[in-house]
Amino acid sequence: MATDHIGRLPAELKCAVVRYLPALQDRKTMSLLSRDWAVVVMPIMWEIFTTDLLAKTGSRNVLGLASPASNIVKHVRKINLLDRPNAFKEADQLPPLLAAIPRGQLCGFKSGSGVPISTLELLLQIHPKLEHFLVPGTSMSQILQSPWTGSSLSGLTRMEVSINTLTPREFRKLWVRCPKLTHIYMTQSKSVTSTSISLQEGHFGVDTTSAVSQGGSDTTQSDMVSFQLSSLRISALMLPATFSTMFQRIDIIALTELVLVHTGRVAELLEAMCSEFQKREPSLRKLRLLLVNEDASDYILSQLQLLLCSFHGLRQLHFECGNCVKIDVDGIINHGETLTDLLIVNGGIHRQDANRCMSVEDLRKVAIACPSLEQLCLNLYEIDPDSPEGDFLGPKISVLPASTEFERALSAIASMKSLRLLRLTNPPNCRKAYHRQGEFMRFFRRSLESGEQRYAFQARADSIVRYVGDRASNLRLLAFSPMESLTKAISADKNGHIWPNYFYTCEQMKSNRGTEVSIARAVRDWKAEMPEATILNEG
């Protein structure tokens, strides 16, 4: 009789196996192996309950979960409400579900749409130990004003705040009532299109003249109280003109992750941070500056360079500007011993402008100085305006061909032995389409239907993978994915790709001569192949 070795694994290893399977259907299959496996799988499978509050969610009736016979609610730790047009009305189904979950069991609640304040009050009363609470800003404003929820926010560690829906006074209440915050995301409401909303110093300072008293739960605090935030993300906001009060409230030295997306006054913040970093050793490990203001790009680049040279230890650096000059790699090299994740895109689709791309010499310096680099995203200089469109990596007519800039850049990339993921943001075969004025849509409709684009990208992927493979590269995933959101095509091709985003795994096969050759295999879901691919989430 065969021994069930996998069934005899310790519970800790079984949990690790289940968490390695992100798909719900795979976890359901695991739960059917045996009773022991079901005991392990069920809590993990239902710890995050995602629903759109329809009468049916998959094969489960939402209201049916509230029945005493339900075998699911005892495992639910987080609720994720999907954003739907009628979600506010359908949220009336939530109270029975919230009441059915054992008191105090929920640790997270996320809603993309509005939820009635009475339901949120019930949630915070029944489950006062929430750590993650992400709701629209208008709902948070009501919660801060509610007499029933004053003491229910003290355990929160993660918060998303819409600045334009909270008054500075309400924002200050938030600081007082959430002393355990470690992750905060400051943004503006999705319904607002203006980019002039400003994050003022007054949002951080405590208003001692109007301190809130909620049955003794809120007390006046000093402006010197610092939050030990691990992660700070600011999106589509104008930063304060000065940062004295902000740095008093948020200890910038303790921060490990800083993300600024389409944010104003970035250069001033980097300058202030550099000054602070010169006084004490910072904890910053992840720095992401995306959609940088092009008007202030020179100032931002100079301050970024000074900041990068003021400390060591970055593991992740993302910088993306729509029309900036190329970055000085000396700041990058300063973090070479620890850097594993690098995204540098100074422009969009710049295949013909070497002044906006990292040079071959820059890439060689990065390859030598960053031995642990695992993910790389950049735009490479491929052709000059007078060169014909074609396969630059194909065989040359001359006996001793001179290597092109693109080939030398790929050779430098191939020498990065720890590199597992390469993302190129300048896709091939775009110039030909752009030069057909007046026929752009017709060209793409015809080429997509005939599969021309799919074959073009596959040919380019094959040539790149073979080129770096011949140079002993350990690349696992190749992506063609621009930073811009291009919507000329909306339907997927036979490989599951939607132009201009194409993804390939790098594999080995034997040729007719029996030798190992590198090939590119198209993949539909890059997240399944490499869920840790952070550079593919940008853009």
Return the amino acid letter for 33.
L
For position 143, what pLDDT does the model report?
A: 85
Tell me the backbone φ, ψ of residue 222, rounded to 5 degrees. Answer: -75, 150
Tell me the backbone φ, ψ of residue 227, rounded to 5 degrees. Answer: -95, 135
Question: Alpha carbon of 298 to those of 126, 294, 327, 390: distances in Å?
Answer: 52, 8, 10, 34
Residues in CB range of 354: below 8 A, 6 or more apart: 381, 405
DSSP for 134-172 reads: E--HHHHHHHHH-TTSTTSSTT--EEEEEGGGS-HHHHH
For position 90, what pLDDT does the model report?
A: 52
Instruction: Check whether the bond before 371 is cis (ω within 30° of 0).
Output: no
Return the amino acid letter for 528.
A
- Among the listed residues 112, 236, 132, 111, the one whose alpha carbon sits nearest the alpha carbon of residue 184: 132
Residues in CB range of 109: below 8 A, 6 or more apart: 78, 79, 123, 127, 130, 132, 133, 134, 135
Distance CA 435, CA 510 (A): 40
> What's the DSSP call for residue 337?
T
* Residue 491, both tokens: 């339907």
> What's the DSSP call for residue 227?
B
Distance CA 503, CA 533 (A): 12
Residues in CB range of 524: below 8 A, 6 or more apart: 495, 496, 497
Instruction: Give pLDDT tens digits along the chain (539 positions).
Output: 445 556 667 767 777 777 776 666 677 777 777 777 777 777 777 888 877 765 444 435 666 666 666 777 888 888 888 766 555 555 567 788 888 888 888 888 888 777 888 888 888 888 888 888 888 777 888 888 887 776 778 888 888 888 888 888 888 888 888 888 899 998 887 766 555 788 888 788 754 444 444 444 444 444 456 788 999 999 989 998 888 888 888 899 999 999 999 998 999 999 999 999 999 999 999 999 998 887 788 899 999 999 999 999 999 999 998 778 888 999 999 999 999 999 999 866 656 677 778 889 999 999 999 999 999 999 887 765 555 444 445 554 544 456 678 888 999 999 999 999 999 987 654 444 333 344 444 445 556 555 777 887 888 888 889 989 989 999 999 999 988 776 666 678 888 888 888 999 999 887 777 778 888 999 998 988 888 899 998 86
On the 0-12 / 13-18 / 19+ scale of CB atoms within 10 A, 148 is middle
Whether the CA torsion 151, 154, 158, 164 is positive or negative: it is positive
* Residue 513, both tokens: 């001569």
DSSP, collapsed to helix, strand or coil, labels residue 128 as: coil
Distance CA 153, CA 174 (A): 9
Q: Which is it for strands 183-187 and 286-292: parallel, antiparallel or unpaired?
A: unpaired
Burial code (b: 16+ CB inside 10 Å, e: under 16) for 302-327 equals ebbbbbbebbeebbbbbbbbeebebb
Q: Which is it for strands 477-480 and 502-510: parallel, antiparallel or unpaired?
A: antiparallel
Residues in CB range of 536: below 8 A, 6 or more apart: 377, 421, 423, 479, 481, 526
For position 74, what pLDDT does the model report?
A: 82
By the 8 A CB rule, do 533 and 526 touch?
yes
CA 535 to chain centre: 8
For the question of whether the overall pTM of this predicted structure is more than 0.85, the answer is: no
By the 8 A CB rule, do 319 and 344 touch?
yes
Distance CA 487, CA 31 (A): 41
- Among the listed residues 60, 61, 127, the one whose alpha carbon sits nearest the alpha carbon of residue 98: 127
Return the amino acid letter for 274.
C
DSSP, collapsed to helix, strand or coil, labels residue 232 as: strand
- Among the listed residues 118, 119, 70, 112, the one whose alpha carbon sits nearest the alpha carbon of residue 98: 119
Region of residue 108 (left: phi > 0; alpha: psi -120 to 50; beta: else): beta
Map 65-103 to HEC letters: HHCCCCCCHHHCCEEEECCCCCHHHHHHHHHHHHHHCCC
By the 8 A CB rule, do 492 and 447 touch?
no
Distance CA 251, CA 248 (A): 7
Instruction: Check whether the bond before 388 is cis (ω within 30° of 0).
Output: no
